[in-house]
């Protein structure tokens, strides 16, 4: 498979960026998208050129660090992480545009690498939960209804990749934040700080420069873990309750 890549290159956060065209040849359809970029970097190194900077870590769809905009889609044409996107999703001769996440709250560090520290600060703003430490509690000492447990596990699947922000026309992080709030709101351990948590996280979200949610739905469509949009409803309900109380 031979491909034409138009890749965003930017030397640093204060440097202008531009799309640079590269050709890659004999790409196997069984390669992941990141493995294809590895091949490109090997060729650039061999030529003495600056290799492409992009984020990756686990390459198993778990860590969420590999986010890229691929021909206008967050993570590419499949609903998965970039590291789990395989080249069989493309065709020989395709022209593929590769860009970093586009959001004021995700400034570009270099090339395709963005600073997603804003997500960390939102989670930090949420603070801690109250739990008793010491010996392990009895298995049924704190019963959790199955419906609540299932929804908490669903929300906890969010890997913080930022695809929701990249896909949203408002660059809102409400799906990410809704998942984090819902995860704890469904469990007994998350109740003592519930009101303070949601207010602090929303304040930090707005301070970071993320946009507001207008229910476009692009966030949940782009989410590689399938986090549903109704976690935003939970977030809004918790926020209204906290502000009233």
Supply the range of the domain harboring residue 17. Answer: 3-110
Residues 10 and 33 in one domain: yes
Burial annotation 195-231 (CB, 10 A radius, 16+ → b, else e):
bebbbbbbebbeebebbebeeeebbbebbbbebbbeb
- Give the count of domains, the chain: 2
Measured in residues, the chain has a length of 245
Point out the domain boundary residue: 75, 110, 145.
110
Mean pLDDT by runs of 10 across the 245 residues of the chain is 98 95 97 98 97 97 96 97 97 98 96 98 91 75 91 97 97 98 93 95 98 95 97 96 90
| Cβ-based neighbours of 64, under 8 Å, separated by 6 or more | 81, 159, 160, 161, 162
Residues 46 and 105 in one domain: yes
Q: What does residue 106 show for φ and ψ, rounded to 5 degrees?
A: -120, 70
Q: What is the CATH number of the domain that holds 146?
A: 1.10.1060.10
Q: Where are the beta strands (DSSP E) in the chain?
A: 3-9, 18-24, 69-70, 73-74, 95-99, 108-110, 113-114
Residues 179 and 78 in one domain: no
Point out the domain boundary residue: 49, 78, 110.
110
Point out the domain boundary residue: 63, 89, 110.
110
Distance in angstroms (rounded) separating the CA atoms of residues 172 and 68: 17
Residues 37 and 68 in one domain: yes
The DSSP bridge pattern shows strands 69-70 and 95-99 to be: antiparallel
Is 0.85 topped by the overall pTM? yes
Residues 58 and 130 in one domain: no
Query: Helix or strand or coil: residue 85?
Result: coil
Residues 95 and 124 in one domain: no
Residues 238 and 135 in one domain: yes
State the pLDDT at residue 131.
Answer: 73
State the pLDDT at residue 143.
Answer: 87
Q: What is the CATH number of the domain that holds 98?
A: 3.10.20.30
Residues 165 and 202 in one domain: yes
Residues 122 and 43 in one domain: no
Residue 110, strand partner residues: 113
Q: Are 100 and 111 in contact (CB under 8 A)?
A: yes
State the pLDDT at residue 76.
Answer: 97
State the pLDDT at residue 206.
Answer: 97
Residues 94 and 120 in one domain: no
What DSSP state is assigned to residue 107?
A: -
Residues 11 and 93 in one domain: yes
Q: What is the CA radius of gyration of the chain?
A: 20
Distance in angstroms (rounded) separating the CA atoms of residues 231 and 245: 21
Residues 62 and 163 in one domain: no
State the pLDDT at residue 62.
Answer: 95
Q: Take residue 242 and report the two structure tokens written for it.
A: 């906290």
């Amino acid at each position: 498979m031979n491909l034409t890549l138009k890749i965003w290159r930017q030397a640093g956060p204060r440097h202008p960026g531009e799309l640079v065209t590269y050709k890659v040849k004999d790409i196997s359809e069984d390669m992941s998208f990141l493995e294809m970029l590895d091949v490109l970097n090997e060729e650039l190194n061999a030529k003495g050129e600056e290799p492409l900077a992009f984020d990756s870590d686990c390459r198993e769809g778990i860590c969420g660090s590999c986010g890229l905009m691929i021909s206008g889609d967050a993570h590419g044409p499949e609903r998965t992480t970039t590291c789990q996107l395989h080249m069989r999703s493309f065709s020989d001769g395709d022209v593929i545009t590769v860009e970093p996440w586009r959001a004021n709250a995700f400034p570009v560090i270099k090339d395709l690498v963005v600073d997603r520290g804003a997500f960390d600060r939102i989670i930090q703003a949420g603070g801690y939960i109250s739990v008793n430490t010491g010996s392990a509690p009895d298995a049924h000492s704190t019963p959790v209804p199955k419906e609540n447990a299932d929804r908490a596990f669903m929300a906890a699947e969010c890997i913080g990749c930022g695809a929701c922000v990249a896909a949203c026309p408002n660059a809102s992080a409400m799906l990410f934040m809704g998942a984090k709030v819902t995860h704890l709101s469904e469990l007994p351990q998350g109740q003592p700080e519930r009101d303070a948590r949601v207010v602090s996280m929303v304040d930090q979200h707005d301070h970071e420069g993320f946009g507001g949610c207008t229910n476009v739905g692009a966030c949940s469509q782009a989410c590689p873990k399938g986090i549903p949009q109704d976690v935003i409803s939970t977030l809004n309900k918790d926020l209204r309750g906290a502000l009233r109380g």
